[in-house]
Structure 1
């Protein structure tokens, strides 16, 4: 990817021959616009769906504008930062709830031997390590992520107030940990140090044709970020619950835990990936829900310019017999099947044309389909299909 690099050299002071380390700031971004077709789309799980044809943006890769910087501190150490803003290529509006740097915002120190420590608004290790082996990041679009983004592999939410550490103990292996503060003092009535906090662990190994990744994430009272009277300034903000987040919208979530693992194998121009996640949600009123995702996908680089990919996702839910669950299921075992298909053709090093198709069908006790980002298909609509095509430019 070509990037515009601004390099600042400071080599002397006014009165003494002081030498300063080299610093650099890189400007980068993506804009991705196109058109999409959805056979049925509804504003909520309880309304009727209708066909939708319209302009689309950010679907192959989220539109973004970012700055990343590095200053050499000597001895193999550097100061680093990233500020990354998400926006709509169709309207110019800011994404991530209108945050100026809603995608990422952090500063830290990096050492070639001791690892990297960063602080700010950041991704957790589910997204960093496991998500890159899923269909939507391998070859598809944001619509091909798992239903409701229940396992956070789409990053519906980033983690605010977070401290993150990553190290490479041996070549090919990375391990890390993250803690995101609630920024709330101890107290009664649901408030306290643990109210809307999070922590995450992860490991990734990539050496030759074989790759492996695993992660664990726990959120305490993430729904607190939805209420201006509880703790909207905690680890998870108001983006936790979007219209397509059907599992988060069914009640106040007291706790969410996610275990995920994935493996990849490359054979010449073919890359195969298998991913599994187990998500457990505990709601107020002693209700709970477990959702397991199983995904198998493959990407084939037919030529240096043309690639094609296909993936299958099976989502298996169990539990949660409360009244809220009746909006998407009429029993305790909802299931969904999903097919992701994507192709990309590189017009140049920076520009490509891409097409994505997603088909999802509700099964078992599930009563409705709900493709990621698009949201519910509408009452009694057990299947949903999307086709999107666009032009993406990276700089």
Structure 2
């Protein structure tokens, strides 16, 4: 009997070890803190700006910690989850509206054969597929994202209440789709199933050093997330900020963002081109088109030193409503932006990085607003920021 019990115990222990080996939970994160100089910054559009030296955090890559897990269910299928918190490395406060896991929170299944489906709070597919081509992601600072983040390539907002599906092929082709529910029942016009919903499609391809992507993001009544008619819909109250100059002009009834990107890697150098075309429909005030053209490159001078440079041209047209006065004198505003970055690797997980950013308003534009930093202030048509910091990944 004792021999049988010993054998059974050994088999049980072995089974438990195997089960444990088939599951994993990973703790990860980033802390990124430094100093910034801005030649002019104001509390809001139309107020007087002034120069500022400040402590900053999360400017190279947002401060975060997260848990990612997977469990092997057999047959090439796995259960997965991610819970990711955003926080301020200066104050310790939670970001993304004070959410505990405001950056991401989802659970799902993935299969080597059938792809991956996830449910929860997630990035839209357009961001997933375009962000690898952007200067601010590759070598720069979050302050170097497109003005107003009108195309959401900075992920000013994530999507709540989502169902997301992605699949890939051995040939380097990847496709994805996401739908974010409004979570409202049918009701009066402007309310109901379509009030603050969103959906997005994406296609990407990689082969022999080349990579490319095509994307589309659609939102219905995203401004209702901050107007009070549906803060629990797809966009959860994160639609506006001090530098979201295009959203703050009025109630947005519909937003469409079309994106395309192409990149090439040649040895230690990477070259990218990104184009986005955004159309905003405003309630009772016409529409606005905003097109972003970005070209950037990065290069490892040595195994520990990386340099990068990017240029963004933003062209707006069409909106002549009263809200346009907040960012333009007429219906054809333009902006030019230069992003420069340098990174020195102290180790595989720790680096020192510096970014220089310059933005200028031309044509009918009369407002500058480097992403997140704040608008330049009344009468200022150019804005410069210099930031430097220490970043550690774990």
Asked if TM exceeds 0.5, the reply is yes
1:208 is displaced (CA, Å) by 2.3
Secondary structure of residue in 1 paired with 2:248: helix
Matched, 1:338 2:337: yes
Q: 2 CA distance for matches of 1:103 and 1:12?
A: 42
Structure 2 runs not aligned, ≥5 long: 1-9
Tell me which residue corresponds to 1:394.
393
> Which range moves more in the overlay, 254-263 or 184-193?
184-193
Tell me which residue corresponds to 2:7.
none
1:1-395 pair list within 5 angstroms:
20=19, 22-228=22-228, 230-395=229-394
TM-score, normalising length from structure 1? 0.95
C-alpha deviations, 1:84-121, integer Å up to 9, x for none? Answer: 00000000000101000000000000000100000000
> Contact 2:174 / 2:203 at 8 angstroms: preserved in 1?
yes
Secondary structure of residue in 1 paired with 2:40: strand
Displaced runs of 4 or more, over 4 A? 11-14, 16-21
Larger radius of gyration, structure 1 or 2?
2
Q: 1:19 to 1:97 in 2, by over 3 A?
A: same
Secondary structure of residue in 2 paired with 1:325: helix
Q: 2 CA distance for matches of 1:17 and 1:359?
A: 57
1:327 is displaced (CA, Å) by 1.3
C-alpha deviations, 1:186-243, integer Å up to 9, x for none? Answer: 0005211000000000011112210101110000000011033x10000001111011
> Contact 1:360 / 1:384 at 8 angstroms: preserved in 2?
yes
1:132 is displaced (CA, Å) by 1.2
> Contact 1:120 / 1:163 at 8 angstroms: preserved in 2?
yes
Q: 1 CA distance for matches of 2:303 and 2:121?
A: 36
Aligned residue pairs: how many? 383
> Contact 1:12 / 1:18 at 8 angstroms: preserved in 2?
no
Query: Over the residues paired in the alignment, what is the CA RMSD in angstroms?
Result: 1.6
Structure 1 runs not aligned, ≥5 long: 1-10
Q: 2 CA distance for matches of 1:207 and 1:272?
A: 15
C-alpha deviations, 1:321-355, integer Å up to 9, x for none? Answer: 11111011000000000000000000011100000
Tell me which residue corresponds to 1:4.
none
Q: 1:130 to 1:12 in 2, by over 3 A?
A: farther
> Contact 2:285 / 2:321 at 8 angstroms: preserved in 1?
no
Q: 2 CA distance for matches of 1:340 and 1:147?
A: 12
TM-score, normalising length from structure 2? 0.95
Q: 1:17 to 1:352 in 2, by over 3 A?
A: closer
1:303 is displaced (CA, Å) by 1.0
Tell me which residue corresponds to 1:7.
none
Secondary structure of residue in 1 paired with 2:132: helix
C-alpha deviations, 1:115-168, integer Å up to 9, x for none? Answer: 000000000122111121011001001000000000110000000000000001
Q: 1 CA distance for matches of 2:16 and 2:361?
A: 71
Q: 1:163 to 1:383 in 2, by over 3 A?
A: same
1:169 is displaced (CA, Å) by 3.2
Q: 1 CA distance for matches of 2:161 and 2:336?
A: 36
